[in-house]
Structure 1
């Protein structure tokens, strides 16, 4: 999946000479948490978060707050330089950028111009889509040897039951490099027949593990 498939293109922006008060108004009006700061050519030169604006605003605990603080220009509190991504970057790769840099928003830039924005909420929603948890389905975790051909073997067992596979994920089995875990979501609310088929084929089920094996 590409960034251009999940990014929002209706970006709310401000020029660097806008006031903190203007930023506060936009954050509240549009219920957003970040505002890219752009120049006359729509190039990203900074970014401001709701926390930046809150920290720069007069404290409500003061008896006589100085409202003039809100008239300061936004470039005085913006973060710069800004990490950006390209519309054709893979979502899985920018997830690493979010994690490693502990950020909550990434402007999307093409030809040096802002074309969109991706937030951590967008990433979470995409993860839900990729894992198939948004549809009614059953989850199965299968421990398999880390050798070529295991995935098609497992999926062929499921296909014999004429069931659709909603999603497939593969990740390491603990610290043992000899095994992998295949996580499948299948479109059925009764996975028992498939589970029994997988067990009869010699596979170990990590989930569900509360369905008894058939008696011979």
Structure 2
């Protein structure tokens, strides 16, 4: 899946000279958490979060309503330089940026111009779609040898039952590199026939791992 498929293209931005008070109003009125700061050519030169603005705002106990702090330009508190991504980047790859850098959003840039934004909420929703948990389904986890051709071998068993596979994930098996764990989401509420077929082919079913009488 590409970034362009999940990014928001309607992005609220500010110029670096805009006052902090304007950023505060935009964040509050639009229920957003980040504002890219762009120059006159729509190039990203910084980013400001709601936390940045809160930290720069006067205390609620301050008697000075028209605070001088809020008149300061947004460039005085923005974060720069900014890590950006491209519309043709893979979502799975930029997920590492969110994790490693602990970002809550990243601007999307093409030809040095801002074209969109991706937030951690967008990433979480995409993960839900990729794992198939957004549709009614059953989950089956299978321990398999780590060898070429094992995936089609297993999916053929599902095919014989004419069961729709919603998603497939592959995980390492603990610390043993000789095995993998295949996690299937299948559109059936009764996985017992498939589980029995898998066991008949000598595959180890990790989940559900209950006996046939309990399923």
Question: Given the two structures, how large is their TM-score scaled by the length of structure 1?
Answer: 0.96
Q: Tell me if structure 1 keeps the 8 A contact 2:7–2:118.
A: yes
Give the secondary-structure state (helix, strand or coil) at the position aligned to 1:67. Answer: coil
Q: Which residue of 1 aligns with 2:157?
A: 157
How far, CA to CA, are the matches of 1:65 and 1:56 in structure 2?
14
Give the secondary-structure state (helix, strand or coil) at the position aligned to 1:60. Answer: coil
2:37 aligned with 1:52: no
Which structure 2 residue ranges, 5 or more long, are not aligned?
A: none
Aligned residues: 214
Q: Tell me if structure 1 keeps the 8 A contact 2:192–2:212.
A: no
Give the secondary-structure state (helix, strand or coil) at the position aligned to 2:210. Answer: coil
Q: Tell me if structure 2 keeps the 8 A contact 1:39–1:45.
A: yes
How far, CA to CA, are the matches of 1:130 and 1:51 in structure 2?
31
Q: What's the offset of the Cα at 1:63?
A: 4.5
Runs (4+) of structure 1 exceeding 4 A deviation are: 63-66
Question: Given the two structures, how large is their TM-score scaled by the length of structure 2?
Answer: 0.97
Q: Tell me if structure 1 keeps the 8 A contact 2:33–2:49.
A: yes
How far, CA to CA, are the matches of 1:74 and 1:58 in structure 2?
15
Q: Tell me if structure 2 keeps the 8 A contact 1:9–1:115.
A: yes
What is the CA RMSD across the aligned residues, in angstroms? 1.3
Q: Tell me if structure 2 keeps the 8 A contact 1:192–1:211.
A: no
How far, CA to CA, are the matches of 2:61 and 2:208 in structure 1?
54
How far, CA to CA, are the matches of 1:21 and 1:189 in structure 2?
54
How far, CA to CA, are the matches of 2:64 and 2:40 in structure 1?
37
Q: Which residue of 1 aligns with 2:84?
A: 84
Q: What's the offset of the Cα at 1:60?
A: 1.2
2:6 aligned with 1:41: no
